[in-house]
Structure formats: structure tokens, C-alpha cells
Structure 1
Amino acid sequence: MATVEQTFHHHRHGYYCMLDLQPITHKGKKVLQEREPKLIENTKQSIFFHGRSTSETLRKCMKDLFQLKKPDALPLKGKHDILPMEDSSPIETSAKKFDSSLFFFGSHTKKRPNNIVIGRLYDHQILDLVEFGVENFKSLEDYPGDKIPIGTKPCLLFAGPQFELDPTLKRTKNLLVDAFQRETVSSIRLQGLEHVIMFTTHENKIFMRSYRVLLKKSGTRTPRVELVEIGPSMDLTLRRTKLASDDLFKIACKKPKELKAKKVKNISKDVFGSKLGRVHIKQQDIKRLQTRKMKGLKKTRQEKLRHKKQPRKS
């Protein structure tokens, strides 16, 4: 999904400019070029901000989620009078300003305590919004031991048949993958699997757990794997959703033609990735094929004459 461009930038850099105007400095021109659509987009950026009122639990939760997203995240200071489910235009404005396509919004009210809204944008507009209630929260600080280095790409695990059977949870799973994954990679090194984030669904809740991967000696070539919980840990109750239509979601997921692999005639791949080819040859007369000349297989004079009298096939 393409990220968004926009409006204005910081005065101190000397390139205050709007999208409708031409950049007045070389640095401003580079910034606008960086925000232009690309065949292969940059890593998606996220913004974190709070509503009118928050709780201590929610502040810690947002802080830990920000730690998981660094360095591809930006916290916005202050309190914001925003209701994402009712009016999402302020979020769209902030996302354009900071070139972000994902956001995390936290608020706390009597009706919806410890509330987190996770959303994403497409073409400057809100695509999906999912509202969660945070319960049984445990912070990173509540778990002793070493933590994961900043910027580590996590392994995302989803457990529960409802992620595939329920259309809402299926789209929510897609949103969580979009929110917590980093850059796309073609191969993974075993030692690079240091962090696992697991989401388990049951009824109307999603249980989020975070683990550190330890590779121990096993006496064989394959190491013994241990998972140590490091936090954050929380139970997410699905409250409200505002999902894009299937047609809009299909457009948002559409890949450019330049990135699609060109189909080569008569060449295909099997389930294991092996390349298979098909070669077409004309129908051949086996009797006229040149074989090894052996005395015992030599035709007699009568056979040669009989063969010459036979009409040839066209």
C-alpha cells in the first residue's frame, strides 16, 4: 500500500513548502521526491498519539507498543481532541503531515476504558479502523532480563481458526500484520529469529504475547529453541471496527504491473519451487530413426526392397 505525501515541514530546515507549491530549497525538493509514489515503497511509518484523557495503564501500553515499532514510529506530544470512529479527518491530516500510513491512538473514558484504535490509510484516506479494549496488561518493565534490540524484525504467529473463518478477524489479522511487520525480506537467517509476537484468538478477544527466542545447544546440528516471555502482554477485546469495502481493499492491495512476474510460455513451477519446462516436437516415425548399426539388425535385401515399395507418409 502506498504511503502518503504532504503539506508542510519544519521551519528550522529551511524548506517550508506546501504540496501545491514548488519547493524553494534543494532539501525541500529531496523531501518531496522521497514522498512520491514508488514501485517498492519505503518501510511504513506509524504515528502514536493520545486522546483527551488517558490512564496509567494506557500510557504504559502505548509506550511499549512504540518501543516495538521503533525506529519506524513517531510519538506526537500533547492531548488530541479526536474521535477516530466519528471523525477521522484530523488523523488523515496528521498522517499526511508526517508521511505515515499507520497510526495508534489511545484514549480512556468511562464508557470505553483503556481504549486503543489501530488504523491504516490508503491514498490519504482512512482504509481500516479497529478499536480494542486493553485488559490484563503487563509492561516490558514487569519482565526481568534482556530485551530485544531496536529495529529487530519480529516473527508474527497467529493461532486460532477464527482468524480465517470470521471475516472481521481475518481483516483484523491483516491489519496487525501490516502494523507490526517491518521491511519485506526474501530470506531469513536462523540466528536472526530473535523476537516472536503471538496473537491468539478466542471468542471476542485477541491475546497478544511477546517472546524472546533463545537457541540452545542440542547435541545436533539443529539447535534447541526456547521462548522466554519479555512483554508486553495484553488481552485485546474487539470493540468497534470500520473496515474498507472489499472493492476498495482490493484496489489498495493491487500491485503495479512492473512488479508482476512476466509469464514465460511453457515454463511453470511446482509446489517446491522447481522450474518445469515443456518442449514440443513433431511426431516422428520410429521405424525411420537412425539407430546403432549392428550386423544382427541389418536388413536383408528382400526387406529393403519391400520398404522402398511402401508409400511414404506425408
Structure 2
Amino acid sequence: MLPIREIKPKNARTKRFLDNKGPQATENPRRTLFLRYTTCSDILQMVLADLYALKRPLAIKFSKKNDIHPFEDPSSLEFFSEKNDASMMVYASHSKKRPHCMTIVRFFGFKVLDMVEMNVEAETMRTLAQFKNAKAAVGLKPLLSFSGSAFESPTPNAYTLAKSIFLDLFKGPDVQNIDVEGLQYMIHFSVDEEEREEVKPQIHMRCYLIRTKKNPNSTTPRVEVEEMGPRIDFRMGRIKEADPDMLKEAMRKPKSQEPKTKKNVETDIIGDKVGRIHLGKQDLSELQTRKMKGLKRSRDVADDEEAFAGAEDEVVFDPAKRSKVEV
């Protein structure tokens, strides 16, 4: 991994700019840059336009052609990332060998962390304009859902990497509270089951409007979804996995965000808080035990014991002495 070049500020203004651009305890929302190759098909241009519409305002779209090969020399992509303060990039290119190719790149410290290449299926592609209905407002966070065993694989693969990149691409800014009125649309990604090893299953991207309607049988509204576009099917291509050392550095959390540990207080795997209490030496002779009802003697048992005690001293009446004699 190449070391990140350190720029020494010459004045206070440059220092403030570099501090704002540098690592933060709470990072800024991810900004996405949209670029195109020297040859870009009409299908890819429509895909870029629709993805840009979903990402606004955290997006920058350039229309100039760029002769860049991401998997061969990513230095130009890193230059664009640092110049525009963008941590995500969508790069579109079209060639005979890789038609309708879209590459999604993720950066860390303005250096390429990982990237995934996907080919768009031109026959099944539908744009936002082809769905004649209302669209979600600009700047809203979408609901993201994934379905398919390939996304949940315990071993890292191209589909788990694609899921991670899609999450970073569409998640938007981090928020503490969510207004229900702002949940207007969702993006669903599904992957087909693998039938043959030589044929990789497709990834289907669908966008739906969320409609709430009055439910006459309950106070809870009825939720319905309506497809709003775009509708895109991807075929997996090349991938570039992250360098282990660079990924470890990217996943490191600042000490200010780590929860402070309390003595003798832990959290189990379920999420429950468990505490340990230390007591002094106890005098068990003064311990108040619980009085069990089953250990108490009943009234019938007490009467039987008294009758048995009276039967031990038998009394006999002697008529000659006219007195009671104990035997």
C-alpha cells in the first residue's frame, strides 16, 4: 500500500481546509462522482442519469470523456476523488469485450480501496421516465433490502462485496432519528440461485414507492409498494478486493466513539447488560430463610401427637381403694 502524501499547510486558511478534508471523528456523508469512458453507450448514460437522480444532492456528474482504465491504472480516479472530495465513484464504459460495463469504486483516504465491475443487461433495463408515476423527493434516505443466499454467504465473494458497496452507495447521511413521512421509497436487490458454476447469477435492482393507505379494519395503515424505476439487471464482472492492511485501517474506530467500559459491567451476546456484585463475608446464622407453607405442621398432625402422648399413661379405676391408680 502506497503511503498517503502529507501536505503541510502554509497558512491558517489552508490548515482549516486540510483539517476539514482530513479524517474526522464523525465522517461527512459519502459523495459519489459519476464519470464516463471515451465510449459510453446510450444505455449506460441513462443508467448514470437515473443513479444520479437517486443520489442527489450527494452526487457530482461529469459529462466529459475520460480515457481511464480502473483495473489497470487507478491513479486518475484517485486524482478525481481527491479533487472533488468524493469517496465513491461510478465509472461507465462500453466496449466489444465488456459491453455496458459499470464499475463502482470505493475510496479510503482518496486511494482505491476496492471496486466491483458489473455489466448492465440492455434488454431488461427500464428508466425512471418509463414509469409514469410520482417519484420520491430529492435527498431522502431509501430503505435497502437484499434477498438471495449469495449475499449472505459466510465466505467473502463477489456478491458479498457488491452488497457492501451498494450499502455505502445508497445509505446516505447518518441520522439519529427518522421521520416516518421521509420513508417514501425502497431499493431492493435480489440475486438468483446459482445453477451452473460457469454462469454467474444476475443481480436485480428494483426501486419501489411506499404507499400507506387507510385500513378500515385496523388503526395501523396498510402499506403497499409501487415500482417507480429504474429497473436494472447486472451481470457480475471483475472485482478488486481491499488490501488487508488498508481495510483494517479503514475499519478502525476512533477512541472517542468507543463505548467506555465500566467495571464489573458487561454485555452478553444477546445485548443484555450483566453486572457482577461483590459482597462481604455473610453470617449465615442470622440469615432469614423463607418460611415454606409445606413445612408447617397441620392441625390434624398436632391432634394425633397429643392423643399418642396421652395413651402412654394408662389410667385404671380400683373400686376397693376408690381411687385412680396409674399403671
Say whether the fold is shared (TM-score over 0.5): yes
Aligned residue identity for 2:29: T
Residue 195 of structure 1 pairs with residue 174 of structure 2 = no
Task: Tell whether the 8 Å contact from 2:9 to 2:15 is kept in structure 1 after alignment.
Answer: no
Aligned AA for 1:95? Answer: S
Contact 1:209 1:232 in 2 (8 A): yes
SS at match of 1:215: strand
Name 1:72's counterpart in structure 2.
58
* Residue number among 141, 154, 167 corresponding to 2:129 in the alignment: 141
Query: Which residue in the other structure is 2:303 paired with?
Result: none
Distance 1:197 1:70 in 2: 15
Is the partner of 1:113 in helix, strand or coil? coil
Measure the CA separation in 2 of the matches of 1:200 and 1:228.
17
SS of the residue 1:90 aligns to? helix
- Answering whether residue 224 of structure 2 is matched by residue 238 of structure 1, we say no
Deviation at 1:29, TM superposition (A): 5.3
The equivalent of 1:122 in structure 2 is 108
User: Which range is displaced more, 280-289 or 257-266?
Assistant: 280-289
Return the index of the structure with the highest Cα Rg. 2
Gaps of 5+ in 2: 195-199, 290-327
Q: What CA deviation, in whole Å up to 9, does each residue of 1:193-215 have, x standing for no partner?
A: 21111110124311101111111
Per-residue CA shift, 1:158-182, capped at 9, x if unaligned?
A: 1001112152211221111111111
Quote how far apart the aligned CAs of 1:270 are.
Answer: 5.6
Offset at 1:77? 2.8
What are the superposed Cα offsets for residues 240-285 of structure 1, whole Å, 9 maximum, x if unpaired? 1111134432321111122111111222346775544332212412
C-alpha separation between the residues in 1 aligned to 2:47 and 2:105?
A: 17
Distance in 2, Cα, partners of 1:148 & 1:182: 14
Contact 1:5 1:99 in 2 (8 A): no
- Pairwise CA distance, 1:137: 1.1
Mapped partners of 1:142, 1:257: distance in 2: 49
1:221-236 superposed matches below 5 A = 221-236=219-234
Counterpart pick for 1:179 among 169, 193, 208: 169
Number of matched residues? 274
Following the alignment from structure 2 to structure 1, what is the Cα–Cα distance between the partners of residues 116 and 102?
Answer: 8
3-state SS of paired residue (1:157)? strand
CA separation of 1:170 and 1:265: change in aligned 2, threshold 3 A = same
CA–CA separation in structure 2 for the residues paired with 1:196 and 1:39: 29
Indicate yes or no: 2:156 matched with 1:167: yes
- The residue type equivalent to 1:99 in the other structure is D
Structure 1 window deviating more from structure 2 (259-268 vs 270-279): it is: 270-279
* Structure 2 Cα separation of the partners of residues 5 and 148 of structure 1: 41
Q: Structure 1 residues 189-198 or 115-124, which shifts more?
A: 189-198
State the Cα deviation string for residues 123-171 of structure 1 (Å, max 9, x = none).
2211111011011211000101110111100111010011121522112
DSSP 3-state at the match of 1:103: strand
Q: Look up the equivalent residue of 2:142 and give its one-letter code.
A: P
Within 1, Cα distance between the matches of 2:86 and 2:264? 43
**Structure 2 residue aligned with 1:49, among 35, 38, 44?**
35
Is the 1:206–1:236 contact (alpha carbons within 8 Å) kept by the matching residues of 2? Answer: yes
Partner secondary structure for residue 260 of structure 2: coil
Aligned partner of residue 130 in structure 1, secondary structure? strand
Structure-2 separation of matches of 1:277 and 1:223 = 41
Contact kept, 8 Å, 1:5 with 1:97, in 2: the verdict is no
Note the aligned Cα RMSD (angstroms): 2.3
Does the Cα contact within 8 Å between 1:108 and 1:114 map onto a contact in 2? yes
SS of corresponding position for 2:125: strand
Structure 1 residue corresponding to 2:210, chosen from 199, 210, 213: 213
Relative to the length of structure 2, the TM-score reads 0.77
Distance of 2:247 and 2:47 partners within structure 1: 29
Q: How far does residue 81 in structure 1 lie from its aligned partner after superposition?
A: 0.5
The aligned amino acid for 1:228 is: E
Q: Could you tell me how far 1:188 is from its partner in structure 2?
A: 3.1
